[in-house]
């Protein structure tokens, strides 16, 4: 969120062609969810998309809603510079929009669940069990689950426990044995009625003295009400499998949280169980890594990050989910203890944690799983490279461009393996932002350090949710003898660059690797990215200067070939757009193409609108957030915004200047977001090799002819299926083309 401070008397005028960042993101996640109802997507893959939607939304609440919640508590008036909305106004809109999303999510999940049932996969609830399954489940729970539970009572004498972020709990309303349920219910109802009546009276005018008296009575009644509520709560034992397979001819299962509800009377046998529910609390996880730095100047930065991370699990709640509506009494009790409002609670019949689908796949019969899943594919060794020939030698002959995940990351791993054993290699320097927990690439770097090479690894310990993994890897690198640095205090290092330096008979040789995505073998099988290897000394000299500057925490704009944010990338983009504007004014062919994950930077959006008004045709290929709204008369008529949400996650960043056939091409690690342009160390680079430039352009051209997954952002801010560029609607309807599937097949069977 780009914010500014204003006074109460000064209103910020919202842009006519920009939209709220958070709502744009929610619409992206809705496109993910919509894959769950796409008949072209196999049934189990549809379930996977519903799971991705759920985990995306969890992170959204933890980070974006958490951040806005913090901003809403700031005393100074803050407004979003694009929309003029305050954080509080954004939060109201977000929570309201999410209520609709939850209903859509539940409907899609139930449709998929019915489809699985028709194909012999039965996801059951307690009320769906037959007698045999009930008996089996009770025996299993008493023998294998109950000994591992840690139930807690919550009443006036027992404090409310800490509920872990994202964890599932069974919560039950209890009544004392020997007290008639009707009496307890009547007492609770009377207490709630008294509170409601008092709230009504509070709304009426009263004297200051009377108001104070009423407030005192209200507090007293609330305390009495809270003391009258007895809850039991049980967390899911971490030692138990979440999926419990039940007897039956076909695969039938129940989830542990639902089964635990059946066990509640035994767990809380000294009480009468009135009703139960499953709940999940989402907490703010937007940590400030700089917090406390001034007070711990002598503390190692890695230890500082470990200390900061411990706070994440205890930050304030921002969402409460339940699998059924909470009773009024339980809802009021939980809202008070969690400091939440009613609009921050969501109800869904879909599982509150969808991660069970991964072990579920292992329980499904192979033939059934194959029928309802994508045809597996493995990233291929690039057809442009020989398998048994040194990668270094092949890079000396010509620049190498890899297209993940269609082509494998293995050539890069082989390059590092060569470098680790090559006596002529002096040093290897690399930036590491997100790494796989098990990484051959990292092991080769460690092997190089153990072989006596000068290995420098810049770890970004603030890579959100990868902090712990990066801390662990950094410790291993240090133990192997590598030099570990942590980058800048004020900038995240998001660049993806590796520089290998060799001493050859002809002198110093540089082998430079650049990528639009992370050094992560796991995501390299799922994310689309471009990976570039060159022995061009112009790249190598800039790469050497880059790592020199990183060691000194120095930002520079003196790179000759590379473009490094925060000083160069944004100015390059602005100048490039200006050049296309000038071409349009002179009547020359012009154009702009940008592929990115997000568009939020206000200055760049205003410059794109200026180009549109000058007549420059612009295509933005944006996977997720796009705050720029196309097709607004007088502002963005010449801008088209398209998106692909499909089997693979579109992740590569491409900046193109000029008409598509002849455009000047840059690849980059940076999205068009203010944080990437101004608060991160990012790298963009020109594609100078004509063969590789044409290959990138062909990739763009094929992506834009997708008739199956391509969607277009409309002026009303909705997304609509866009048959393709260059096809009439009638022709497109007869021609079904999935660009990602095309690239998979092309990699498997190259021409």
| Euclidean distance between CA atoms 284 and 280, whole angstroms | 13
For the chain, give the number of residues: 751
Q: Would you call 131 exposed, middle or buried from its count of C-beta atoms within 10 A (0-12, 13-18, 19+)?
A: exposed
Sheet holding 121-123, edge to edge: 121-123, 251-255, 243-246
Least confident of 53-62, 296-305, 640-649: 296-305
Outline where 349-488 has alpha helix (H).
Answer: 357-363, 366-371, 391-397, 410-421, 440-450, 467-479
- Inter-residue contact 379 to 525 (CB < 8 Å): yes
* Confidence label for 722 from pLDDT (cuts 50, 70 and 90): low
Overall average pLDDT of the 209-231 stretch: 50
* Other Cβ atoms within 10 Å of 736 Cβ, number: 11
Overall average pLDDT of the 117-132 stretch: 95
Least confident of 268-272, 603-607, 699-703: 268-272
Q: Which residues are catalytic?
A: 494
* Confidence label for 217 from pLDDT (cuts 50, 70 and 90): very low
- Inter-residue contact 140 to 254 (CB < 8 Å): no
166, HSE (Cβ side, Cα atoms, 13 Å): 16
Mean per-residue pLDDT of the chain: 88
The predicted pLDDT at position 205 comes to 37
Which of 120, 119, 123 shows the shortest CA–CA distance to 256? 123
Least confident of 54-63, 178-187, 239-248, 403-412: 178-187
The predicted pLDDT at position 299 comes to 54
The most distant pair of C-alpha atoms in the chain lies apart, rounded to whole Å, by: 94
Written as six digits, the tokens of 599 are 């568009």
Residue 372 has pLDDT above 90, yes or no: yes
Which of 78, 81, 60 shows the shortest CA–CA distance to 18? 81
| Euclidean distance between CA atoms 56 and 27, whole angstroms | 12
The predicted pLDDT at position 292 comes to 46
The predicted pLDDT at position 557 comes to 93
- Where b means 16+ CB within 10 Å and e means fewer, 720-731 reads eebbbbebeeee
Angle at 453 between CA 447 and CA 458, to 5 degrees: 80
- Inter-residue contact 363 to 245 (CB < 8 Å): yes
* Confidence label for 469 from pLDDT (cuts 50, 70 and 90): confident
| Euclidean distance between CA atoms 91 and 68, whole angstroms | 7
| Euclidean distance between CA atoms 683 and 539, whole angstroms | 12
Q: Which residue has the higher pLDDT, 355 or 9?
A: 355
| Euclidean distance between CA atoms 62 and 67, whole angstroms | 8
Percentage of residues of the chain with pLDDT beyond 90: 75
Enclosing H/E stretch for 573: helix 569-585
Residue 59 has pLDDT above 60, yes or no: yes
Overall average pLDDT of the 514-536 stretch: 96
- Where b means 16+ CB within 10 Å and e means fewer, 321-359 reads bbbeebeebbbbbbbebbebeeebbbbbebbbbbebbee
65, HSE (Cβ side, Cα atoms, 13 Å): 26
* Confidence label for 576 from pLDDT (cuts 50, 70 and 90): very high
Verify cis geometry, omega within 30 degrees of 0, for the bond prior to 566.
Answer: yes
Enclosing H/E stretch for 153: strand 152-154
* Confidence label for 73 from pLDDT (cuts 50, 70 and 90): confident
Which of 450, 471, 449, 475 shows the shortest CA–CA distance to 462? 471
The predicted pLDDT at position 195 comes to 39
The predicted pLDDT at position 472 comes to 86
Overall average pLDDT of the 301-311 stretch: 54
Residues 6+ apart with CB under 8 A from 366: none
| Euclidean distance between CA atoms 252 and 499, whole angstroms | 53
Most confident segment among 278-292, 306-320, 576-590, 723-737: 576-590
pTM for the full predicted model: 0.88
């Amino acid at each position: 969120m780009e914010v500014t401070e204003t006074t109460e008397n000064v209103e910020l005028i919202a842009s006519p062609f920009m939209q709220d960042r958070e709502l744009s993101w929610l619409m992206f996640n809705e496109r993910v969810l919509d894959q769950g109802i796409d008949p072209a997507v196999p049934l189990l893959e549809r379930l996977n998309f519903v799971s991705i939607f759920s985990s995306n939304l969890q992170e959204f609440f933890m980070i974006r809603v958490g951040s806005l919640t913090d901003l809403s508590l700031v005393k100074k008036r803050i407004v979003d510079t694009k929309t003029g909305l305050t954080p509080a106004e954004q939060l109201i809109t977000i929570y309201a929009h999410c209520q609709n999303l939850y209903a859509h999510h539940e409907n899609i999940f139930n449709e998929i669940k019915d489809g699985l049932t028709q194909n012999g996969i039965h996801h059951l609830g307690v009320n769906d069990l037959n007698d045999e399954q009930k008996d089996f489940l009770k025996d299993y729970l008493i023998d294998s689950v109950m000994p591992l539970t840690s139930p807690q009572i919550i009443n006036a004498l027992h404090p409310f426990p800490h509920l872990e972020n994202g964890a599932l709990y069974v919560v039950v309303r209890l009544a004392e044995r020997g007290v008639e349920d009707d009496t307890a219910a009547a007492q609770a109802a009377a207490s709630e009625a008294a509170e409601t009546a008092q709230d009504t009276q509070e709304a009426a005018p009263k004297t200051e003295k009377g108001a104070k008296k009423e407030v005192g009575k209200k507090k007293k009644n609330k305390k009495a009400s809270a003391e009258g509520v007895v809850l039991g709560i049980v967390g899911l034992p971490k030692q138990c499998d979440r999926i419990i397979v039940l007897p039956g001819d076909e695969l039938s299962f129940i989830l542990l949280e639902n089964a635990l509800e059946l066990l509640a009377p035994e767990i809380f046998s000294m009480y009468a169980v009135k009703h139960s529910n499953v709940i999940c609390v989402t907490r703010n996880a937007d940590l400030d890594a700089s917090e406390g730095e001034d007070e711990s100047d002598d503390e190692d930065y890695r230890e500082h990050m470990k200390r900061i991370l411990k706070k994440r699990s205890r930050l304030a709640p921002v969402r409460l989910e339940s699998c059924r509506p909470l009773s009024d009494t339980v809802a009021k009790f939980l809202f008070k203890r969690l400091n939440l409002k009613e609009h921050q609670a969501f109800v869904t019949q879909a599982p509150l944690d969808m991660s069970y689908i991964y072990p579920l796949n292992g329980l499904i019969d192979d033939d059934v799983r194959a029928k309802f899943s994508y045809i597996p594919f493995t990233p291929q060794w690039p057809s442009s490279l020989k398998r048994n020939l040194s990668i270094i030698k092949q890079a000396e002959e010509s620049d190498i461009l890899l297209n993940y995940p269609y082509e494998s990351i293995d050539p890069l791993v082989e390059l590092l393996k060569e470098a680790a054993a090559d006596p002529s290699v002096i040093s290897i320097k690399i930036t590491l932002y997100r790494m796989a927990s098990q990484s051959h690439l990292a092991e080769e770097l460690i092997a190089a350090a153990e072989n006596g090479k000068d290995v420098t690894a810049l770890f970004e310990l603030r890579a959100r949710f990868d902090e712990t993994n990066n801390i662990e890897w950094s410790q291993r690198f240090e133990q192997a003898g590598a030099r570990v640095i942590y980058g800048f205090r004020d900038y995240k290092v998001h660049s993806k660059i590796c520089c290998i330096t060799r001493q050859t008979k002809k002198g110093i040789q540089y082998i430079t690797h650049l990528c639009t995505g992370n050094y992560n073998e796991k995501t390299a099988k799922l994310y689309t990215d471009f990976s570039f290897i060159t022995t061009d000394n112009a790249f190598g000299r800039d790469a050497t200067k880059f790592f020199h500057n990183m060691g000194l925490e120095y930002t520079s704009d003196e790179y000759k070939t590379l473009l490094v944010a925060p000083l160069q990338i944004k100015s390059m983009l602005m100048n490039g757009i200006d050049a296309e504007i000038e071409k349009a004014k002179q009547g020359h062919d012009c154009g702009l193409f940008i592929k990115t994950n997000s568009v939020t930077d206000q200055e760049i959006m205003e410059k794109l609108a200026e180009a549109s008004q000058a007549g420059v045709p612009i295509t933005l290929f944006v996977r997720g957030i796009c705050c720029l709204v196309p097709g607004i008369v007088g502002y963005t008529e010449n801008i088209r915004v398209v998106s692909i949400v499909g089997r693979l996650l579109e992740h590569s960043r491409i900046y193109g200047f000029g008409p598509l056939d002849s455009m000047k091409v840059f690849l980059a690690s940076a999205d068009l977001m203010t944080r990437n342009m101004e608060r991160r160390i990012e790298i963009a680079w020109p594609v100078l090799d004509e063969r590789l430039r044409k290959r990138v352009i062909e990739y763009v051209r094929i992506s834009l002819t997708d008739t199956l997954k391509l969607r277009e952002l409309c002026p009303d801010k909705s997304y609509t299926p866009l048959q393709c560029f260059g096809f009439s609607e009638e022709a497109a309807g007869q021609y079904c083309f999935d660009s990602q599937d095309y690239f998979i097949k092309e990699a498997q069977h190259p021409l």
